Structure 1
Amino acid sequence: MAVHTLESLAQKYNSEVVVPPIWQPPRFERADWMWIKSIAQSGPDQDDRIQNVKVGSGEAARRLTCMHRTQPRRNFAVFYRRLAFDMVLVIGIGSHNASNKQYTVQWADGCKNRISLAAKKETGPFYLVNPIGGLFAFETLDALLNQECLSLPMRIQ
């Protein structure tokens, strides 16, 4: 099983934006790529956390908790988890529909669906906790990643 450190992520992916295999090599337009990098560089103070967003329907519905931002004037949205002060892990990209609460998103596992930020699902498993697999040998800035993917014996104090 892979154990990620800040150094291994920077070497294998990028020092600011970790892009899961589905988008490798990164195929974003330059303006979108630079904007995602600026999100990472700006640190967590401007992160917009969304919690328990309902993904799917019926008994198979799951919840999503992550950070989300929409690029002004381009309608390009990114859903991410913050790994470090200046590093993010992209888990979804998309655009909003009729309102800025309704999004069509392509997720890092390859599926594409519509979500409403207003629709919540308090129970059910989390969706896309860590789309690059493995564990982290450091405490990230995302509580869910720490809970699910932290390698405690290798934890850096």
Structure 2
Amino acid sequence: MKTHTLESIARDFNSEVVVPILWHPPRFDRADWMWIKNVAQAGPELDGRVTDIKIGSGPHARRLNCMHRTQPRRNFTVFYRRIADTMILVLGIGSHNTNDKQYTVQWADGNKSRIVLSKTAPSGEQYLVNPIGGCFGFRTLDPVLNAERLSSSIK
């Protein structure tokens, strides 16, 4: 199993944004790419958590982060996990539909789905995945990735 370090992530992906292989090379237009990088650089203080989707249980529940940008005639949403103060792991990209609670999202595993933020979902496996595989050999800012790290080190 591959163990990611901050150095290997910066070398193999990007020092700010980890983009799963589905989107390699990063297939975002420049405006979207710069916005994703700005989300990473802004730090955890500005992260907006999606709190009305029930994902898992206990301390690992509701850990999907969502940042949203809307421009005239254009909107773009990135769903991600925060790895470090200025580093994110992209889980999904999409846009809102009729309002800012309904989104169409392409997930890092290739699936595409609609989600409605005002409805509680009892599970959300697509939100909890580690789309780059392996485990993180350092403590991240995300408890799900940290739990994976701890469980893999126990084996």
Report the TM-score when normalising by structure 2: 0.86
**Residues 51-90 of structure 1 aligned to structure 2 (within 5 Å):** 51=51, 53=53, 65-73=63-71, 74-90=74-90
Partner of 2:115: 115
Which AA in structure 2 matches 1:2? K
Inter-CA distance 144–51: structure 2 relative to 1 (3 Å threshold): farther
Which AA in structure 2 matches 1:26? P
Whether the 8 Å CA contact 2:3–2:134 is kept in 1: the answer is: yes
Which AA in structure 1 matches 2:108? A
Runs of 4+ in 1 over 3 A off after TM superposition: 149-153
Considering only aligned residues, what root-mean-square deviation do their CA atoms show, in Å?
2.0
Q: Percent identity of the aligned residues?
A: 57
Give 5+ residue unaligned stretches, structure 2: 56-60
Which AA in structure 1 matches 2:79? F
**Residues 95-110 of structure 1 aligned to structure 2 (within 5 Å):** 95-110=95-110
**Residues 11-30 of structure 1 aligned to structure 2 (within 5 Å):** 11-30=11-30
Give 5+ residue unaligned stretches, structure 1: 56-62
Give the secondary structure class of the aligned counterpart of 1:49: coil
Q: Which has the higher strand share?
A: 1
Q: Which has the higher helix share?
A: 2
Q: How far apart are residue 52 of structure 1 and its match?
A: 6.2
Whether the 8 Å CA contact 1:15–1:87 is kept in 2: the answer is: yes
Whether the 8 Å CA contact 2:5–2:138 is kept in 1: the answer is: yes
Partner of 1:36: 36
Q: How far apart are residue 70 of structure 1 and its match?
A: 1.1
Residue 138 (structure 1) aligned with residue 138 (structure 2): yes
Inter-CA distance 46–144: structure 2 relative to 1 (3 Å threshold): same
> Matched residues in 2 for 1:101 and 1:23: separation?
25
Whether the 8 Å CA contact 1:95–1:104 is kept in 2: the answer is: yes
Partner of 1:58: none
Give the secondary structure class of the aligned counterpart of 1:72: strand
Aligned residues: 145
Which AA in structure 2 matches 1:92? G
> Matched residues in 2 for 1:49 and 1:20: separation?
21
Q: How far apart are residue 64 of structure 1 and its match?
A: 6.8
> Matched residues in 1 for 2:68 and 2:94: separation?
9
> Matched residues in 2 for 1:22 and 1:119: separation?
28
Inter-CA distance 82–32: structure 2 relative to 1 (3 Å threshold): same
Q: How far apart are residue 90 of structure 1 and its match?
A: 0.2
> Matched residues in 2 for 1:72 and 1:10: separation?
29
Partner of 1:126: 125
Residue 94 (structure 1) aligned with residue 94 (structure 2): yes
